[in-house]
A and B are shown apart, each in its own frame.
Chain A
C-alpha cells in the first residue's frame, strides 16, 4: 500500500515536471537559463572590476588605493539583498531624477540589468581580493629574475606574473562563480523570473512544494557539477608544468 502511494506520488511528480504543459519542466529550464545568463554577466563584470581593482590596490597611487579599500570594505560589509534593493529602487529614482534635470527621459532599469550590475559589483569586490592575493603569491625572486633579464613591465606581466598568478587564482575564482550562481536567487525578490522565482510560482500554483523545490535543488546541483568539470580543466591548464598538479575542480 505504502509502496503504491509512493509510486503514484512519483508518477504525478514526473507529470508536473514534464517538458510541455501541463508539466512545468520548460518553465523551470527557462528560469535556469535566466539564472545562467545573469551569473555569466555578473561574473564577467566582476572579473573586469577585480583585475583592475587588484592591480590598482597593489600598484596604484595612495588615493586610488584608499578608494578601492573603501569599495571592497563597503561592498563586502553590506548584504547583497540590501544592495540589490538599493540599486533597483533607490538608485534608479535618483538616476532618473538626474536625467530629468538635464532634460532626458527616464531610462528603464530592468531586473536583468539591476541584477548584473549589483552582483557584478559585489563579485568585483571579492575577486579584487582573490586576484590581489594571487598576484602576491608570485615569488618575488621570479619577478626580480625577469627584471634582471631586462624584461619590460608588460612582458614581465605577460610571461611571469599572469601565468604564475592564474594557477593561484583559479580555486578562489571557481568559488566566486559558485557563489554568484546561487546569489542570482536574490532577484526573485524583485519579481524577476529566474530559477528560484519560477520554482516558487510553480510550487505556489500547483501546491507541490516538495517536488518543485527538490527539482530546483537538483538543477542548481547540476549547474555546480558542470561548472566543477569546467573549472577543473581550467585549473589543470593553469597548473600545467607544475608539480602536484592534481586536485582541481570544486
Chain B
C-alpha cells in the first residue's frame, strides 16, 4: 500500500507533460451557477461546461475539465498545471500583464443585490458606510475598491456563492457580482426570501473589461488562434444559441 502511494506520488510529482496529452481546461472549483457547478455525481455541469465541450469539439481539441481554486487559477496556468482558463474570467488590462486572452465569448453587466427594501442605490453615494461583499481577485473586487471609496468595508469571499450566503445571513449590506450569477441566486429559495436587485453599476471598461475570454499563457499564439477559430465557429454554426437556450432567456454574448 505504502509503495503504491509513493509510486503514485512520485509519478504525479515528476510526470512531465507530454505533448500528446489532452488540453487541461481550468475551471473554478466552486459552485458558480448557471455557468459551472458540480452535480451529485461529481460531474461539472452548466452553460460554461457545455460551451467548453462545444469549443473543444469545434476546434478538434481533446480537453479535460480540471477544477482549480479560483485564487490560484492564474498561477496554475502559468505554472503549467492547466493549459487554459475557462472560468468566466473577464478580459482586463491587469490580467493581460500576466496572461493572454482569446476573443470574448460572453459579456454581461455587473449588478448589485441587497436585502429587500434596503432603498440603496448602486453608486458611490448609495454604498457609503455600507459593507459590500465581492469575490476575491475579481473585476467586482477591483471595481468596488475603485468606485466605492466611502464603503464601510469591502468584504472579500473565496467564492461568489459564499458572498451571497452572507448577504442572505445579513452579514453584508450589498453584494456586487455578474448579473447572471445574481439571477441564479435570485431564483433560489434563499435569494427569493431575502433580497432584491437594485440595478447595474456604472460601466468602467478599464476595470470591468471587455467580456469573458479564454485565459492562455503568453506566447502561445497558435493555441490562441485555435481557440478564436473554434469560438467563432461555435457562434456561427448556431451551437452557441443551442447551448444557451436551456439556461438563458436572451443571448449573453453581449455587445
Contact = CB atoms under 8 A, between A and B. Distances in A.
Contacts of B162: 204
A37 B7 CA distance: 12
Interface residues of B, number: 40
A122 B72 CA distance: 22
B142 interface: no
Contacts of A27: 38, 40-42
Contacts of B72: 88-89, 190-191
B220 interface: no
Interface string B153-191: 000000101100100000000000000000000001110
B136 to A, nearest CB: 12
Interface in B2-40: 2, 5-6, 8-9, 12-17, 28-31, 33, 37-40
A21 interface: yes
Interface in A71-102: 88-89, 92-93, 96
A191 B29 contact: yes
Contacts of B188: 207
Interface residues of A, number: 38
B81 A109 contact: yes
B182 to A, nearest CB: 16
A106 B28 CA distance: 23
- Give the dominant DSSP class at A's interface: helix
Given A26-B41, A27-B40, A106 B29 contact: no
A133 interface: no
Contacts of B12: 108, 110, 112-113
Interface string A110-124: 101100110000000
Contacts of A109: 13, 79, 81
A172 interface: no
Given A107-B15, A205-B38, A189 B69 contact: yes
Interface string A183-213: 0000001110100010001101101000000
A30 interface: yes
Contact of A93 (B8, B37, B75): B75
Contacts of A113: 9, 12-13
B9 A108 contact: no
Interface string A9-30: 0000000000011111011001
Closest 5 CB pairs of A and B: A191-B69, A21-B40, A191-B29, A113-B13, A106-B80
Interface of A: 20-24, 26-27, 30, 37, 40-41, 44, 88-89, 92-93, 96, 104-110, 112-113, 116-117, 189-191, 193, 197, 201-202, 204-205, 207
Given A21-B40, A30-B42, 19 more contacts: A26-B41, A27-B40, A37-B5, A40-B1, A40-B2, A41-B9, A44-B5, A105-B17, A106-B17, A107-B14, A109-B79, A116-B9, A117-B9, A189-B69, A190-B68, A190-B69, A191-B67, A193-B29, A207-B188
26 contacts: A21-B40, A22-B39, A22-B40, A23-B40, A26-B42, A27-B42, A30-B42, A41-B5, A41-B6, A41-B9, A44-B2, A44-B5, A89-B79, A93-B75, A93-B78, A96-B79, A106-B17, A106-B79, A106-B80, A108-B12, A109-B13, A109-B79, A116-B9, A191-B67, A191-B68, A205-B31
